[in-house]
């Protein structure tokens, strides 16, 4: 139960009740479709007349469609309701320091189109490139109503849409939401990539419906953590919660883009693995070299080399796995999630990496710990799906009352 915030509340009106019931009906249809009005009334506990009114409204607005009514020998069968997944076109953006991927998806997070381009060096360049992509999507699918744009970011944005912390992006504290709204003429939702992945796991993942405590860890150029605790995404002061990637493991360790030394992501991220492979990173001591990835070798090359039996690549992944385990043990011990989701290219090598991670976590957590650590399938494009979820949850999420 939350305490009522007396600096920011809204008293309930009959409109509030209608809005809540409508959201509940929409979510039940989404979850249990196809279903009849009678089934919806039973599941929701709402009166048949209320259900009919809500469904009528949802159909009129295009959120729900009705299947053809099959006429049997003994009269009309009920018409089944479906979520109209094609109603909304959602532009999903996975913004990363090197490459940006953009997709056009329906309400079910299935992608109709996708493209990728090198991330421009400035936010203005990014907005212009994104506007060109959105225009080309709309030209290819003129039948789709663009409902909004979701962007998953390698950093943190505050509630006003300002980029407050993105050390691997080097863009400064730009008002990204306003910049993109102006460039695209569409509503824009921004969120840290790991937080977006945590939400995507809730809305589109394989978790049980009642999962309340879920942590998502994105392992890429850096390491991001998204925390869903008590069913709520945690943002913290200035939206900075989740920066476990910058938890210092060794103050004499390799320099980090955040200005400190020896942060977790300097040992367990993709860029750290590349530097380790190239010999630029000692085992946590005497590190040299820049805190940016080497341009020649990519993390996917390290994965490929390990597959080909390259001993140095294998040792690199083992080093990365041990350090992933160290940080994950802290998360599991401190946050007690029901599940930890791992997102990133490293999951492709989970048969090699996973056992080491689990072993280190087991050594470093309380005996009662049973939190599963689950890799996501890169084929599901979790970061892009996370960006879709940012828009979907605005239409399907629980209304904020009191």
Name the residue nearer to Zn ion (CB basis): 85 or 248. Answer: 248
Q: Per CB under 5 A, which region of 16-24, 110-118, 249-257, 338-346 contacts Zn ion?
A: 249-257
What angle is formed at CA 224 by the lines to CA 127 and CA 227, rounded to 5 degrees?
Answer: 110
CB of 259 to Zn ion, least distance (A): 7
Over the window 202 to 241, marking each residue x when it contacts Zn ion by CB under 5 A and - when it does not, the resulting string is: ----------------------------------------
Name the residue nearer to Zn ion (CB basis): 167 or 205. Answer: 167
- Residue 202 tokens read as 């809730």
Secondary structure (3-state) at 385: helix
Residue 263 found at the interface with Zn ion (CB under 5 A): yes
Q: Per CB under 5 A, which region of 194-202, 234-242, 263-271, 386-394 contacts Zn ion?
A: 263-271
CB of 348 to Zn ion, least distance (A): 25
Name the residue nearer to Zn ion (CB basis): 80 or 244. Answer: 244
> Site residues for Zn ion, window 85-114 (CB under 5 A)?
none
User: What string of DSSP letters covers 52-88?
Assistant: HHHHHHHHHTTSEEEPPPPEETTEEPPPPEEE-TTSE
Cα 231 from Cα 223, distance rounded (Å):
22
Cα 193 from Cα 296, distance rounded (Å):
25
CB of 260 to Zn ion, least distance (A): 5
Tally the C-alpha atoms within 13 A of residue 104's C-alpha that lie toward its C-beta: 23
Q: Per CB under 5 A, which region of 73-81, 253-261, 286-294, 321-329 contacts Zn ion?
A: 253-261
Q: What 8-state DSSP symbol labels residue 27?
A: H
CB of 262 to Zn ion, least distance (A): 8
Residue 287 found at the interface with Zn ion (CB under 5 A): no
- Residue 399 tokens read as 């209304």
CB of 264 to Zn ion, least distance (A): 8
CB of 246 to Zn ion, least distance (A): 4
Name the residue nearer to Zn ion (CB basis): 260 or 322. Answer: 260
Cα 390 from Cα 199, distance rounded (Å):
8
b/e per residue, 25-63, with b = 16+ CB within 10 A? Answer: bbebbbeebebbbebbbebbebeeebbebbbeebeeeeb
Name the residue nearer to Zn ion (CB basis): 30 or 246. Answer: 246
Name the residue nearer to Zn ion (CB basis): 263 or 329. Answer: 263
Cα 142 from Cα 129, distance rounded (Å):
20
Q: Whose structure tokens read 């394989």?
A: 206
Over the window 160 to 179, marking each residue x when it contacts Zn ion by CB under 5 A and - when it does not, the resulting string is: --------------------
Considering only residues 216, 258, 353, 392, which one is a binding residue for Zn ion as defined by CB under 5 A? 258
Considering only residues 22, 37, 96, 246, which one is a binding residue for Zn ion as defined by CB under 5 A? 246
Considering only residues 26, 183, 217, 256, which one is a binding residue for Zn ion as defined by CB under 5 A? 256
- Residue 315 tokens read as 């040792």
Cα 83 from Cα 390, distance rounded (Å):
18
Over the window 113 to 152, marking each residue x when it contacts Zn ion by CB under 5 A and - when it does not, the resulting string is: ----------------------------------------
- Give how many residues touch Zn ion by CB under 5 A: 5
- Residue 209 tokens read as 């419906």
Cα 61 from Cα 189, distance rounded (Å):
22
Helix (H), strand (E) at residue 152: strand 145-153
Secondary structure (3-state) at 298: coil
Q: Per CB under 5 A, which region of 101-109, 261-269, 291-299, 344-352 contacts Zn ion?
A: 261-269
Positions that interact with Zn ion (CB under 5 A)? 246, 256, 258, 260, 263
């Amino acid at each position: 139960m939350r305490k009522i915030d007396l600096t920011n509340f809204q008293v309930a009106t009959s409109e509030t009740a209608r809005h809540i019931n409508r959201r509940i009906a929409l979510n039940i249809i989404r979850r249990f479709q196809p279903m009849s009005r009678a089934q919806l009334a039973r599941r929701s506990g709402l009166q048949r007349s209320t259900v009919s009114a809500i469904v009528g409204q949802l159909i009129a607005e295009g959120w729900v469609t009705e299947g053809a009514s099959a006429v049997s020998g003994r009269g009309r069968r009920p018409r089944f309701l479906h979520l109209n997944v094609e109603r909304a076109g959602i532009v999903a953006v996975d913004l990363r320091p090197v490459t940006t991927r953009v997709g056009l998806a329906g309400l079910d997070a299935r992608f109709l189109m996708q493209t990728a381009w090198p991330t421009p060096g400035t936010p203005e360049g990014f907005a212009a490139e994104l506007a060109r992509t959105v225009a080309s999507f709309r030209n290819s699918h003129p039948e789709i109503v663009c409902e909004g744009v979701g962007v998953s970011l390698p950093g943190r944005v505050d509630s006003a849409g300002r980029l407050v912390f993105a050390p691997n992006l080097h863009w400064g504290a730009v008002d990204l939401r306003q910049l993109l709204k102006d460039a695209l003429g569409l509503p824009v939702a921004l969120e840290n990539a790991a937080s977006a992945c945590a939400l995507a796991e809730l809305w589109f993942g394989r978790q049980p419906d009642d999962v309340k405590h879920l942590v998502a860890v994105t392992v890429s150029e850096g390491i991001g953590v998204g925390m869903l605790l008590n069913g709520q995404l945690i943002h913290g002061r200035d939206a900075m919660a989740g920066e476990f990637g910058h938890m210092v493991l060794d103050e004499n360790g390799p320099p980090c883009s955040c200005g400190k030394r020896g942060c977790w992501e300097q040992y367990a991220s993709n860029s750290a693995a590349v530097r380790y492979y190239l010999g630029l990173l000692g085992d946590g001591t005497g590190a040299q070299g820049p805190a940016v990835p080497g341009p020649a070798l990519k993390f996917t090359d390290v994965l490929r080399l390990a597959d080909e039996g390259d001993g140095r690549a294998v040792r690199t992944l083992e080093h990365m796995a041990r350090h992933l385990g160290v940080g994950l043990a802290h998360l599991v011990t401190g946050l007690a999630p029901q599940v930890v989701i791992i997102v990133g290219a490293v999951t492709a090598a989970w048969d090699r990496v996973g056992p080491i991670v689990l072993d280190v976590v087991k050594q470093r957590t309380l005996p009662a710990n049973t939190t599963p650590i689950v890799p996501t399938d890169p084929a599901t494009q979790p970061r892009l799906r996370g960006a879709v979820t940012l828009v979907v949850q605005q239409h399907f999420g629980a209304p904020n009352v009191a």
